[in-house]
Amino acid sequence: MVRRRGSRSIGSDSPRARAAAVSAGPPRPLDVAVRLLARAPRSIAEIATQLGRRRFAREAIDATIAALRERGYLDDAALAHRRAEDLLLRRGHGRLRVAYELTRRGVAASVIEDALATVMEGRRDAEFARLALCRKFGHDSRDRLKDASARARAYRYLIGRGHPPEAVIEVLGDDDSR
Q: 7-16, 55-64, 116-125: lowest mean pLDDT where? A: 7-16
pLDDT digit string, tens, across residues 30-89: 999 999 999 999 999 999 999 999 999 999 999 999 999 999 999 999 999 999 999 999
**Do 60 and 83 belong together in one domain?**
no
CA distance 147 to 39: 46
The domain containing residue 49 runs over which residues? 26-71
Instruction: Give the integer Cα–Cα distance in Å for 118 and 101.
Output: 17
Largest CA distance in the chain: 78
Both 64 and 83 in a single domain? no
From CA 95, how far away is CA 161, in angstroms rounded? 9
User: Does some domain include residue 1?
Assistant: no
In a domain, 49, yes or no: yes
148 within 8 A of 154, measured Cβ to Cβ? no
Are residues 89 and 112 both part of a single domain? Answer: yes
Q: What H or E segment, with its residue span, contains residue 53?
A: helix 44-53
